[in-house]
Every structure is written in C-alpha cells, then in structure tokens.
Amino acid sequence: MINIVYHKVISKDEIEILHNKESIYKGFSYKYGKKTIDLLKNNFNRENSLYIVAKQEDEFVGFVSCDTDWWENNCFFIREIFVNPDFQKQEIGKKLMEDCINHAKKHKSQYVITETAFENLPMQKLCAKLGFEEWNNPEWKDGITYKLTLS
C-alpha cells in the first residue's frame, strides 16, 4: 500500500471515476455502468454517507461507499467496493472496508451489512476475514448478504 492516498469523496461528480471500471475473477466479472453510478449518486447525500477513493498519484486504485439506505434502523450498508485489478492482493479492499466499519462505529451503528454475488469469492473471503457472517436476507436472494455486528 505504498504511496496510496485515500480521500473522502466530496462531490457527486467524483463518482464518475468508476465509469467503465471492470474487474474479472475466474467466472465473475463486474463493470461499472450508468445505472450503478446513478444509484451511488442518489445515495451520496444521505445523512452520514461515506464515499472514499484511493489513488496512487493520478492512477485509480479503489473505491468504497457506505450509507444508511437499509430497511433496518441503526445500520450502515456497504453499497460498493472496488479495487483496481492491478492493485489487488495488497489489502486495499481490507483498508477500505475497515474505514467503513470505523465510520459506522463512530456513528453508533449496530450493524454493517454488505451484499455480493455468489461468484465473487474475493469479497466473500474479505468479509470472513473481517468477521462478517452470512445472513439470510429475506429481501435479496441473488447473492450472499453479510452482516457484521458492532459492539
């Protein structure tokens, strides 16, 4: 993680950095398009939302967003996390997730929740490493929901 700078996103326009960013892992592929970027922009101004971009000089390294758009009270939702494939396996995703967890703790949240595709094994491993547990989410069956209970 040498020379990587993490900064809080202060303008919706900064979210456009994700446009067409893509990651492929074995059978899993994800590419950011207009629909996801618009959703992020819509949640950007939610109370206590946190959006972070990581860069090395001018090169995009990673992104994470968390907000309170969840049906349970006192909960933060990690909506998106993405690490540029050229920077994976350097614990950047872990650092971004920990920033969200600490943000939720600072705001006295009871839980942090995230969702991922069944095929997204790196995210599943990261969630397990950080103490998230699989949670049977009655609202979403297209992947795995993870919940971290904060003390």
- Per-residue pLDDT of the chain (151 residues), as tens digits, is 479 999 999 999 999 999 999 988 777 788 999 999 999 999 999 989 999 999 999 999 999 999 998 878 889 999 999 999 999 989 999 999 999 999 999 999 999 999 999 989 899 999 999 999 999 988 888 899 999 999 7
DSSP code, position 141:
-
DSSP code, position 42:
H
C-alpha span between 87 and 105 (Å, rounded) = 27
C-alpha span between 21 and 17 (Å, rounded) = 8
Report, in angstroms and rounded to the nearest whole number, the Rg of the chain calculated over CA atoms.
Answer: 15
The pLDDT score that the predictor gives to residue 71 is 78
Mean pLDDT, the chain, whole residue set:
92
**DSSP tally for the chain: helices H, then strands E:** 3, 9
Strands 22-25 and 28-31: antiparallel
Can you list the domains of the chain with their CATH numbers?
4-149 (3.40.630.30)
Strands 75-83 and 111-117: parallel
DSSP code, position 13:
G
The pLDDT score that the predictor gives to residue 135 is 93
Secondary structure element (H or E) that encloses residue 59, with its range: strand 59-67
C-alpha span between 143 and 151 (Å, rounded) = 26
144: left (phi over 0), alpha (psi -120 to 50) or beta: beta
The pLDDT score that the predictor gives to residue 23 is 84
Q: What tokens appear for 79 in the block?
A: 């909506």
